[in-house]
Amino acid sequence: MIPLPNATRPTTGSGAFRVVVFEGTGSRPLEPTTRRELVTALLQKGHAVTVVRSGSAASAITGGTLVVLGRFTDAQPERAEGNGGAVAIHFRDIESAPAARAAEMVDEIRNELQLPKPGGWKPWFPVIDYDRCTNCMQCLSFCLFDVYGVSADKKIQVQNQNKCKTDCPACSRVCPEVAILFPKYRHGPINGDVVSSDDVRREVMKVDISALLGGDIYQALRDRSAKSKSRFAKERDEDRALEERQKCLVKLGEKLDIPAEVFASLPSIDEIRAKADAAAARAAAALSGN
Amino acid sequence: MSLPLRVLYCHCAYANVVPKAVKEDVLRQLTESGVAFDAVPDLCELSAKKDPCLAELAGGGPVKIVACYPRAVKWLFSAAGTPLPTDGIEVLNMRTETADAIAQNLLGRAAPEVTS
Ligand code: SF4
Ligand code: SF4
């Protein structure tokens, strides 16, 4: 079997699925254009790729499933094990396979192993910069979609990344420390750019929800709900109540750059009330231990 | 014994925040250079899924990470429970730097001409 790099370290129990484009001893190098096409095709299919060349280093592969593609000078077994059985290795000769076909071979192995397909979800979620975060819990209280939680040691945490609403950066705007990043956001410093003192001062970075809604956001929504209810009772003017709520949300949306779809999926007022109470209790419990 | 320098390239799928021309040209120069490297489709996705390969990519000595803002990259690794070491990490930002400047940093020479 060809000598794979660094596959002799102790196992970490890794369950990773990775592809190696092997051009070390025992495999003839690819032409530069072929290598580019192959790596691009693999990345586009969502695979992590390691290009192994003699004389320079790539990362260690200590566990999981490895598909090794190469133009092997000697026949390789279709399957083998590495790192004391921690790495399941699948060899495929790509001598006569164009890039697209080679990438398909990898998909076939993944399908055979019934491993999940990558992609299908734009990875949009908040990332906390703990160098800046003061654990104030405002993000926990603000988010209506249960993205945030509190760790066992009472620290704010992003716990449900996939519940975050795609393209909505609202919680980053309520963080008083500019500690919440969305790496795929258009503008800095929310995208991870350096935070200047101007950013911290700038009004947009410290959106005052009170100014927007005349008090605590949940209280404001509750008040509006109550007002709407009494108005429904007295005037049955549902349209007017709806219009007022929409106006308020449009204003909030413009200020915070919140996509309209997020508003479309807001929980009901009763759910908001329950969530607000639960978040307040969790925040209070966490803060009491600070 | 000091560990050799590695290169990790992020292809930043699912969003157009990294200019397509920059990421494609960096990848072209990397693949045509003859150096070994690691490439991932999207570090953000790996972080969200706490993919075990992040530990292998973060560990193992000095690495130049070609992705986006260093602060974002640092906390994405951290969020996955695989923080980057404090030494030996350099992040090259494809949102703000040119492909040639990045290739020059990685490969230590002037960029070659397009060959296809
Ligand atoms: S609002 Fe900002 S500073 Fe406060 S806990 Fe959340 S991330 Fe930390
Ligand atoms: S880490 Fe940066 S470059 Fe990589 S996928 Fe995320 S936003 Fe894109």
pLDDT value at residue A104: 97
The architecture of the domain spanning A16-113 is 2-Layer Sandwich (3.30)
**Packing angle between helix A32-44 and helix B20-33, nearest 10 degrees?**
130
The interface pTM score, or ipTM, of the predicted complex is: 0.92
DSSP annotation of A203 reads G
User: Taking 90 as the threshold, does the pLDDT of residue B110 lie above it?
Assistant: no
For ligand 1, the distance from its centroid to the CA atom of residue B51, given in whole angstroms, is 25
Run of H or E including A262: helix A260-264
pLDDT value at residue A201: 72
> What tokens were used for A165?
């609403």
pLDDT value at residue A259: 81
pLDDT in tens, B20-30: 999 999 999 99
**Greater confidence, A98 or B113?**
A98
Q: Which of A125, A128, A131, A151 to mutate to test the pocket of ligand 1 (most atoms within 8 A of CB)?
A: A128
> What tokens were used for B24?
């494609």
**Amino acid identity, residue B108?**
G
Q: Report chain A residues whose CB lies below 8 A from the CB of B37.
A: 50-51, 56, 58
CB-CB under 8 Å, A51 with B31: yes
Boundaries of every domain in chain A: 16-113, 127-212, 237-288
pLDDT value at residue A237: 52
Boundaries of every domain in chain B: 15-36+49-63+81-108
State which residue of chain B sits closest to A46, comparing Cα positions.
B41
For ligand 2, the distance from its centroid to the CA atom of residue B6, given in whole angstroms, is 18
pLDDT in tens, B30-87: 999 989 999 999 999 999 999 999 999 998 899 999 999 999 999 999 999 999 999 9
Which residue's C-alpha comes closest to atom 1 of ligand 1? A175
State which residue of chain B sits closest to A193, comparing Cα positions.
B69
Per-residue pLDDT of chain A (290 residues; tens, 9 = 90+): 565 554 433 333 347 899 999 999 999 999 999 999 999 999 999 999 999 998 878 888 888 999 999 999 999 999 999 889 999 999 999 999 999 999 999 999 999 999 888 878 899 999 999 999 999 998 998 888 899 999 999 999 999 999 999 999 989 988 989 999 999 999 999 999 999 988 887 645 455 443 444 345 555 555 555 555 554 444 445 555 556 556 666 766 777 777 877 777 777 767 777 777 788 788 888 888 65
Run of H or E including A220: helix A217-235
Is the domain spanning A127-212 CATH 3.40.50.10440? The answer is no
A149 CB within 8 Å of a chain B CB: no
Is the C-beta atom of A128 inside 6 A of ligand 1?
yes
**Helix, strand, or coil (residue A281):** helix
State which residue of chain A sits closest to B40, comparing Cα positions.
A48
- Least CB–CB distance from A59: residue in B14, B38, B47: B38
The pTM (predicted TM-score) of the whole model is 0.85
Contact between residue A158 and residue A87 where contact means Cβ atoms under 8 Å apart:
no
Contact between residue A43 and residue A49 where contact means Cβ atoms under 8 Å apart:
yes
DSSP string, B51-90: -THHHHHHSSS-EEEEES-HHHHHHHHHHTT-PPPSSSEE
A118 CB within 8 Å of a chain B CB: yes
> What tokens were used for A273?
């009330």
Residues A14, A148, B83: CA angle, nearest 5 degrees: 35
